[in-house]
């Protein structure tokens, strides 16, 4: 099974789309080698802007470019770009600027770089903005599809990407539809919902929990959440488990909880992720185990609760 970091898939997709859509421009905050926007920069140097370590300026410039008809992709680590919330809120959100925000190095999966580089609250921050679409693809092809959607969708988009390599899960881009989760496996009383890097962990856990025949869902769109799919799970399941490389407050688990609460879910929701705490430096595999994101941790939690 081939593996690729979704940031690499993004770089390749943006470069390819740059040839198809001349209005695409890219801006980076001195991290183009890490965000992989350097692929676009090499192909289209006159449409790439290296803004330095000045994320707020980059965001404001992108909004201006959007209002003159361009399609800007602004790139940085998720922890850094979401940290410029006030500028995003006014220049992109309130102004309804057609800007695509790309946040790489999401979550604990970046490993040794440690907490200061980890995007662990970015979804929480940006999900509150009206009108923004938030995408977190789980493999190479869904990332390419997500980038294409972002480039052609009119309105703000936040694309959350990994540093670590993820296995290929899908055979074609058509499986991705923004706003609609992917049902990987239909089951009975238990559902496992992952997003981004945790989808493969949910799939592995489902194999170890085969006696419980769990549903498995790839919730690649965090906003707007697939309400219809969540409602289906709520009607069908007694236990629903969400797994995210993010703080459990304000991310996937919160989005699912909101739908279930409004629909009168009578079962139990288990939100797995960082439990209102900071991350730390370490080996990604060990961090996933310690903070409850690994397939083994999911299995143990399910066996404990059920």
Q: Indicate which residues carry an active-site annotation.
A: 55
3-state DSSP assignment of residue 16:
helix
CA dihedral over 226, 229, 232, 233, signed as positive or negative: negative
CA–CA distance, 231 with 256 (Å, rounded to integer): 9
Reported in sequence order, the residue ranges of the chain that DSSP labels E, i.e. its strands, are 3-5, 24-28, 48-50, 71-77, 100-104, 133-135, 157-160, 165-167, 182-185, 190-194, 215-218, 221-223, 239-247, 268-274
Count Cβ atoms below 10 Å from residue 217 Cβ, excluding itself.
27
The answer for residues whose C-beta is within 8 angstroms of residue 90's C-beta and 6 or more apart is none
**Residue 66, both tokens:** 């959007």
Q: What does the DSSP 8-state code read for residue 273?
A: E
Give yes or no for a contact between 135 and 103, defined as CB atoms under 8 angstroms apart. Answer: no
């Amino acid at each position: 099974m081939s593996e690729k970091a979704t940031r690499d898939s993004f770089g390749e997709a943006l470069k390819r789309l740059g040839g198809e859509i001349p209005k695409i421009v890219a801006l980076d905050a001195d991290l183009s080698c890490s965000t992989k926007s350097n692929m676009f920069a090499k192909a289209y140097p006159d449409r790439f802007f290296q803004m330095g370590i000045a994320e707020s300026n980059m965001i404001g410039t992108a909004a201006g470019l959007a209002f003159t008809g361009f399609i800007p992709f602004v790139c940085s680590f998720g922890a850094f770009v979401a940290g410029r919330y006030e500028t995003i809120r006014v220049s992109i959100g309130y102004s309804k600027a057609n800007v695509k925000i790309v946040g790489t190095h999401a979550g604990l999966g970046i490993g040794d770089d440690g907490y200061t580089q980890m995007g662990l609250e970015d979804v929480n921050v940006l999900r509150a903005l009206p009108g923004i679409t938030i995408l977190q693809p789980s493999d190479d092809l869904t990332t390419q599809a997500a980038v294409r959607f972002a480039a052609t969708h009119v309105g703000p988009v936040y694309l959350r990407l990994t540093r670590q390599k993820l296995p290929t899960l899908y055979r074609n881009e058509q499986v991705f539809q923004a706003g609609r989760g992917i049902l990987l496996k239909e089951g009975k009383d238990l559902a496992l919902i992952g997003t981004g890097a945790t989808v493969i962990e949910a799939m592995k856990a489902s194999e170890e929990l085969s006696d419980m025949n769990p549903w498995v869902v790839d919730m690649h769109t965090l906003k707007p959440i697939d309400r219809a799919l969540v409602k289906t799970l709520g009607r069908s399941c007694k236990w629903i488990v969400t797994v995210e490389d993010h703080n459990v407050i304000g991310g996937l688990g919160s989005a699912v909880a909101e739908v279930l609460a409004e629909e009168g879910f009578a079962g139990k929701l288990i939100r797995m992720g960082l439990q209102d705490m900071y991350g730390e430096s370490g080996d990604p595999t060990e961090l996933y185990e310690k903070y409850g994101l690994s397939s083994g941790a999911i299995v143990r939690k399910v066996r404990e609760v059920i």
